[in-house]
Amino acid sequence: MKIGIYPGTFDPITNGHIDIIHRSATLFDKVIVAVTTNPQKSPLFTIKERMDLIQSSVHSLENVDVESFNELLVNYAEKRGAAAIIRGLRATSDFEYEFQMALVNRKLSKNLLTVFLMPNEKYTYLNSTIVKEVAKLNGDISCFVPKEVYIKIKEKFQELKKGAK
């Protein structure tokens, strides 16, 4: 069984991420969307909330699982029996960082491949940070995220506004 790991913070998951997951699900027998933290980011959602949002967004894909991890990615991937790490490339600006990480991962684990997938061109400008910034300023993000995610983001920012008063 060929397993691909799609790691990220997914805070929140966007339609671009969903596009990559759908593409990955056609290439691998099993895709694990692996949610992690990034100490350089302040998440809007907890890991559990992010996992629930991802699960609700990909529930129709039978070969996709959602998990969390908090260790070195290659170690996690090896424990899960993965053949590849899946990474999305939106623009050339992503390439240098992703290429560097792929080389480091290859050095750490000779048997683990990195597969780069480009999302549909309508999502190449999209990332979670932009979605949060637009939502925080009451912009319409309904075309950027699945409906369930849209609802939860609106609720989260309403909670934060109430807490700030």
Residue from 17, 50, 87, 132 carrying the catalytic annotation: 17
Catalytic residue flag (residue 128):
yes
Whether 152 is a known active-site residue: answer: no
- Out of 87, 128, 132, 152, the active site residue is 128
Q: What angle do CA 136, 17, 105 make, to 5 degrees?
A: 115
* 90 is a catalytic site residue: yes
Residue 55 — left, alpha, or beta (φ > 0 → left; ψ -120 to 50 → alpha)? alpha
Alpha helix (H) ranges present in 43-136? 47-58, 73-79, 92-108, 128-136
Which candidate in 23, 30, 87, 90 is catalytic?
90
SS3 category, 55: helix
The Cα-based distances of 91 to 118, 137, 161, 165 in angstroms read 8, 25, 34, 39
Own/partner pairs, 131-136, CB within 8 angstroms, 24+ separation:
131/12, 131/14, 132/11, 132/12, 132/44
Q: Which residues pair with 165 in a beta bridge?
A: none
Active-site residue, selected from the candidate residues 41, 59, 122, 161: 41
Q: Which residues are catalytic?
A: 17, 41, 90, 128
